[in-house]
Chain A
Amino acid sequence: MNWFINGEFKDPKAGLLGDSGDKMWFKCWDEISNLSFKIHHQYYQFIGSKKVCKSWWRKLLFSWIIGWTLASVSIFCYMSSLATEKRKETLSSMCDERARMLQDQFNVSMNHIQAMSILISTFHHGKTPSAIDQETFARYTEQTAFERPLTSGVAYAVRVLHSEREQFERQQGWTIKRMYTLEPSRIQEEYAPVIFAQDIVSHVVSLDMLSGKEDRENVLIARRSGKGVLTAPFRLLKTNRLGVILTFAVYKRDLPSNATPNERIQATDGYLGGVFDIESLVEKLLHQLSSKQTILVNVFDTSNQSYPISMYGSNASNDGLEHVSHLNFGDPFRKHEMRCRFKQKPPWPWVAITTSIFILVIALLVGHIFHATVNRIAKVEDDCHKMMELKKQAEAADIAKSQFLATVSHEIRTPMNGVLGMLDMLMDTNLDVTQLDYVRTAQASGKALVALINEVLDQAKIESGKLELEEVQFDLRAVLDDVLSLFSGKSQDKGVELAVYISDRVPEMLIGDPGRFRQIITNLMGNSIKFTEKGHILVTVHLVEEVIDSIEVETEASSKNTLSGFPVADRRQSWKGFRTFGQEEPVHPFSDSINLIVSVEDTGLGIPSEAQPRVFTPFMQVDPSISRTHGGTGIGLSISKCLVGLMNGEIGFVSIPKIGSTFTFTAVFASCSSSSKEYKSQQINSQSNTVSSEFHGMRALVMDPRPVRAKVSRYHIQRLGIHVEVISDWKQGLSIINKGDSAIHMVLIEQEVWDRDLNCSDLFINKLEKIGHGTPPKVLLLSNSVNSSSGNVTTGACDLSIVSKPLRASMLAASLQRAMGIGSKGNPRNGELPSMSLRNLLLGRKILIVDDNNVNLKVAAGALKKYGADVVSATRGSEAIDLLTPPHQFDACFMDIQMPEMDGFEATRRIRDMEHNINNRIQFGELSVDAYNNVSNWHVPILAMTADVIQATHEQCQRCGMDGYVSKPFEAEQLYREVLRFFQ
């Protein structure tokens, strides 16, 4: 998450903000990266305790939001202050500009008035008589008015002392009048009557300037200072607009610049005054600048600081921004200033607002993402924990379930065996027909129940993954013969033809789990036979390689050319989806593994297409009525599928309603050619091999027009070592026999052929008997019907031996033996085999038996002694440990599990530790091998003796170093199997 915070913070830092901002960002960044580091730290430290973590995250989120809100506010302030600053600058520059222009224009006018004062002193006072009269002055001023754009009028007043008044009045022809009242002036020390005036202000002629208060001050200051003096603004007489009067003193002679005021007063001749119309002046100016709209200008006379006098502009009070520029109109006694304001209120600082809101929104979003992420993580963690809990529970439940199933089925099987055994015994007693029927029904139900329990147990084992396949060497053909014989009764009852064909390329012996293979085949065939009322069931076994590039299969597929002549579902469809066939290369041709493909084809009901997808789902049947009419649980196919999966194969099917189904599966077995010595071979069905030698080298004819059936027959006969030729009709048969280059020992004829034309068959038999090559060939009938399954049947003229189908090696051999008159030698009883072998295995072995129960001990000892073992007994685990401390002479130890003080598991564990210790020390040379009977690797086989043989116990046995277990009380077969592993 750190990168995220990093990235988030770098961005705003890089752009957008100036210096001051940067500092802030740095600080902020440091703080938050610290914080995030801390949080990281905390997070990992407290990863176990969610609460702390959660509160930390909440704090971080809170501070994040607060921080960013503050940040965006400060951004807003900063940006709006920038805007204000800029506005202020604009205002001040505009204001200054206006002030400067106003001042310049004013100065121009003032200079001109000053120039006019020079003119008057030169031409009025300097000349006698005066060169200027009122008329001249008026004209002149009128014509030069353009040079003084701001003045509305100019007038000249002359200084008249009281002594000169009379003469002056006479000379001018009027009396000096007072201002405002226009009465003749009262007696004063001196007067300043206006003698010249511009036409606009001609009304002021003869008025005494000293009589007006403002004017008098002005005049006095002007003559004292020798500079232009301004009055305070006042309402002009005529226009009633605001104006100021500029007054210049006119002197008799040029005065030095440092002349004292008194000298100046003495030298004064008159006063030149100009009226400035400030309002129009400023207005004109603003017109010129044409930006009247944007700013508001006020001009004030601020000579008296506390009462500034407004000279221009409205008094609209505006609290906004104001800029003040000082004006200098050349009068040192008066101060003026210009105040400017913007007309409009400052616009909203949209940029600042949007920027800050934008940042805030981003920050909030990021915060939200954090929040959501943290919540999500917390939730996922919680879920994960929950799931773990649930998983544990589920696993525990699963284990419990399989344990339960194993235990329960074990517990049910035991009494069921009792029930079945009793029923068996009951059947041997004298029962009437009804009773016998009841007992049969009871027995059948019991058997069905046991079968169901076995299936359920299998399913449970498969589901819990506890089912492991055996790796033993077995004869596939024998297994299939077995299965065939299992179903032969049923098939004969139903009149369904049953056949097995195994390709020649399938090796004799394979390594795998014959029991499970058999189970699959039995399941499939069981289903087939359940749903087939007529026709046939054909099991074929090929190598996968063979099928992939087999033309044989192609030709065979035509619908009429089947075993029984009924159409079948095309079996190639059933393996369409197989992975094996999708591969380009046929599976590892050089490896040891053998890929078998097995098809079970029937001409039964077929599976309705809507039920086809759930065929392999456990407990699923086509519809509930099926289980009533045909029985079964619907678990068989699902188990088969699992088993096929365990054999690295696949299962598939094709089914056409009313025509039949074909199930096909593949399975991978190991070939036993390379490592046959390591595997114990199964002891079943050695008869067929022993018998085969008797027929070796014989020749037989099989007469059958149907190639598939003929192929099956040929396969079975060839297994006995008999050379087979297939013929399709009588003529062909006769011609072969007649050729006589090698003797034909037997002719096998399909019953169908035989029955079709009895005359022909009689003829054939007759002809056969007439052929004189030694003994005529024996004629055998291949029959599927049940009524003629055993013994000889007289058909027509001669005796015929019947070979009943389904064909299988042992049956065929027996039939042939009977027919050919070869006596069968007595085979040893099968049951004796383990006990004899046990004797061989156990003879002279020294075996320790540990059991706390004296009776059990005695019985076990007795059992082992019977097989010739040298038995030593012990009643405690500790005793066993002492006895089994190397060196010792024991070959094996049988140990009870439940013993007081020290149970079998514990004792075994200690013995194994001890052995391990001694082995190590021998290896490192600490102990000499000689002292330990020259055995450097001590490991005495320890077998558990236990009454309950469930999976869990078995696992525990292995965990504590036991080598196996036998059930108590001993059972010869199991004992043999276990002991065989150690004594060979």
Chain B
Amino acid sequence: MDLVQLQRQLVDYRTSLYHEGFLDEQFTQLQELQDENNPDFVVEVVSLYFEDSERLLNELSKALEQQIIDFKRIDAHVHQLKGSSSSIGAQRVQKLCIVFRNYCEAQNVEGCLKCLQQVKHEYSIVKTKLESMFQLERQILNAGGSVPV
């Protein structure tokens, strides 16, 4: 595929991510932190985020299956998830986490379960989107071009 077309596709894709609210300016800042000394910074951080989030989501599922639900622990996990989501700019996940925490505070099991489902859903979307974006970037790099900022 044409390099220029790829680059344009990437930019459009990225813009759509912003516009649809999957990402916010924090992701931009993240990208700004990436430079020659640290060429894979964004990918590193985001993979770390994926790793972390999957662990947390598993923990959350387990915790919510328990007979006696430890809301404190769940809250701590959700807090973590919220923190890391806001750090990479995954704002939809972050906002859901806020709702989740409210349910947690109210000790509303049903709400928590519903939220967990939504968070998982959102997370999987943002993961797919980010991964396809990275895919595009890799293609551009492989084609010998540079990733437009």
Q: What is the interface of chain A, defined by CB distance below 8 A to chain B? A: 851-856, 858-860, 862-863, 865-866, 898, 900, 947, 968-970
Query: Is residue B131 contacting chain A, with contact meaning CB distance below 8 A?
Result: no
| Among B62-70, B84-92, B112-120, the stretch in contact with A | B84-92
For A945, the closest partner residue in chain B by CB is: B83
CB distance from A718 to the nearest CB of B (A): 44
Known: A862-B41, A865-B38. A853 touches B33 (CB 8 A): no
Complex Cα–Cα for A969 and B26 (A): 7
Known: A853-B52, A854-B48, A969-B26. A859 touches B87 (CB 8 A): yes
7 A-B pairs with C-beta separation under 8 A: A854-B84, A856-B87, A859-B87, A865-B33, A866-B33, A969-B26, A970-B29
For B46, the closest partner residue in chain A by CB is: A855
Query: Is residue B80 contacting chain A, with contact meaning CB distance below 8 A?
Result: yes
State whether A853 touches B80 (Cβ < 8 A): yes
For B88, the closest partner residue in chain A by CB is: A855
State whether B33 touches A863 (Cβ < 8 A): yes
For B82, the closest partner residue in chain A by CB is: A947
State whether B87 touches A853 (Cβ < 8 A): yes
Complex Cα–Cα for A826 and B76 (A): 51
B8-49 near A? 1/0 per residue, CB < 8 Å: 000000000000000000100110111101100100110011
Partner of A858, one of B32, B44, B79: B44
CB distance from A529 to the nearest CB of B (A): 34
Residues of B within 8 A of A851 (CB): 83
State whether A900 touches B76 (Cβ < 8 A): yes
Chain B contributes a number of interface residues (CB within 8 A of A) equal to 24
Known: A900-B76, A947-B86. A858 touches B45 (CB 8 A): yes
Closest 8 CB pairs of A and B: A855-B84, A862-B33, A859-B87, A853-B83, A856-B87, A855-B49, A855-B87, A858-B45
Partner of B83, one of A856, A865, A970: A856
Inter-chain pairs besides A859-B33, A860-B87, 14 sampled, C-beta below 8 Å:
A851-B83, A852-B80, A853-B52, A853-B80, A854-B48, A854-B51, A854-B84, A855-B45, A855-B52, A855-B84, A858-B48, A859-B45, A862-B34, A898-B79
For B84, the closest partner residue in chain A by CB is: A855
State whether B86 touches A862 (Cβ < 8 A): no
Residues of B within 8 A of A859 (CB): 30, 33, 45, 87-88
For B53, the closest partner residue in chain A by CB is: A855
State whether B52 touches A854 (Cβ < 8 A): yes
Residues of B within 8 A of A866 (CB): 32-33, 35, 38
Complex Cα–Cα for A900 and B29 (A): 27
Residues of B within 8 A of A858 (CB): 44-45, 48, 87
Partner of B86, one of A852, A854, A968: A968
Complex Cα–Cα for A61 and B78 (A): 68
State whether B83 touches A947 (Cβ < 8 A): yes
For B19, the closest partner residue in chain A by CB is: A425
State whether B45 touches A862 (Cβ < 8 A): yes
For B79, the closest partner residue in chain A by CB is: A898
Residues of A within 8 A of B80 (CB): 852-853
CB distance from A592 to the nearest CB of B (A): 43
Q: What is the interface of chain B, defined by CB distance below 8 A to chain A? A: 26, 29-30, 32-35, 37-38, 41, 44-45, 48-49, 51-52, 76, 79-80, 83-84, 86-88
Partner of B87, one of A865, A898, A969: A969
Partner of A969, one of B35, B37, B49, B86: B86
Complex Cα–Cα for A969 and B39 (A): 21
Complex Cα–Cα for A866 and B26 (A): 15
Complex Cα–Cα for A968 and B44 (A): 19
CB distance from B45 to the nearest CB of A (A): 5
CB distance from B131 to the nearest CB of A (A): 16
Residues of B within 8 A of A853 (CB): 52, 80, 83-84, 87
State whether B48 touches A855 (Cβ < 8 A): yes
For B73, the closest partner residue in chain A by CB is: A900
Complex Cα–Cα for A691 and B104 (A): 60
Residues of B within 8 A of A970 (CB): 29
Residues of B within 8 A of A860 (CB): 87
Complex Cα–Cα for A854 and B83 (A): 10
Complex Cα–Cα for A543 and B39 (A): 58
CB distance from A337 to the nearest CB of B (A): 112
Residues of B within 8 A of A856 (CB): 83-84, 87
For A867, the closest partner residue in chain B by CB is: B33
Complex Cα–Cα for A529 and B83 (A): 46
Complex Cα–Cα for A892 and B35 (A): 24
Complex Cα–Cα for A853 and B79 (A): 9
Complex Cα–Cα for A976 and B79 (A): 27
For B49, the closest partner residue in chain A by CB is: A855
Residues of A within 8 A of B45 (CB): 855, 858-859, 862
Complex Cα–Cα for A732 and B76 (A): 81
CB distance from A560 to the nearest CB of B (A): 56
State whether B38 touches A855 (Cβ < 8 A): no
CB distance from A80 to the nearest CB of B (A): 85
Residues of B within 8 A of A968 (CB): 83, 86-87
CB distance from B60 to the nearest CB of A (A): 15
CB distance from B123 to the nearest CB of A (A): 13
Residues of B within 8 A of A855 (CB): 45, 48-49, 52, 83-84, 87-88
Complex Cα–Cα for A970 and B25 (A): 12
Complex Cα–Cα for A926 and B45 (A): 47
Residues of B within 8 A of A947 (CB): 83, 86
CB distance from B23 to the nearest CB of A (A): 13
Complex Cα–Cα for A970 and B32 (A): 12
Residues of B within 8 A of A854 (CB): 48, 51-52, 84
Residues of A within 8 A of B87 (CB): 853, 855-856, 858-860, 968-969
CB distance from B96 to the nearest CB of A (A): 15
For A866, the closest partner residue in chain B by CB is: B33
For B91, the closest partner residue in chain A by CB is: A418
Residues of B within 8 A of A900 (CB): 76
Complex Cα–Cα for A928 and B72 (A): 46
For B85, the closest partner residue in chain A by CB is: A855
CB distance from B40 to the nearest CB of A (A): 11
Complex Cα–Cα for A859 and B86 (A): 10
CB distance from A905 to the nearest CB of B (A): 16
Complex Cα–Cα for A477 and B41 (A): 45
Complex Cα–Cα for A865 and B52 (A): 22
Complex Cα–Cα for A865 and B44 (A): 15
Complex Cα–Cα for A822 and B21 (A): 48
Complex Cα–Cα for A860 and B87 (A): 9
Complex Cα–Cα for A898 and B76 (A): 9
Most chain A beta carbons < 10 A, residue from B33, B48, B51, B84 = B33
For A852, the closest partner residue in chain B by CB is: B80
CB distance from A249 to the nearest CB of B (A): 138
Complex Cα–Cα for A853 and B86 (A): 11
Residues of B within 8 A of A852 (CB): 80
Complex Cα–Cα for A549 and B66 (A): 82
For B45, the closest partner residue in chain A by CB is: A858
For B51, the closest partner residue in chain A by CB is: A854
For B24, the closest partner residue in chain A by CB is: A418
State whether A862 touches B38 (Cβ < 8 A): yes
Complex Cα–Cα for A866 and B84 (A): 19
CB distance from B32 to the nearest CB of A (A): 8
Residues of A within 8 A of B44 (CB): 858
Residues of A within 8 A of B51 (CB): 854
Complex Cα–Cα for A947 and B34 (A): 23
CB distance from A847 to the nearest CB of B (A): 15
CB distance from A869 to the nearest CB of B (A): 12
CB distance from A843 to the nearest CB of B (A): 13
Residues of B within 8 A of A862 (CB): 30, 33-34, 38, 41, 45
Complex Cα–Cα for A898 and B77 (A): 12
Residues of A within 8 A of B86 (CB): 947, 968-969
Complex Cα–Cα for A855 and B84 (A): 5
CB distance from A950 to the nearest CB of B (A): 16
Complex Cα–Cα for A900 and B73 (A): 10
For A422, the closest partner residue in chain B by CB is: B19
Complex Cα–Cα for A900 and B70 (A): 15
Residues of B within 8 A of A865 (CB): 33, 37-38
CB distance from B118 to the nearest CB of A (A): 19
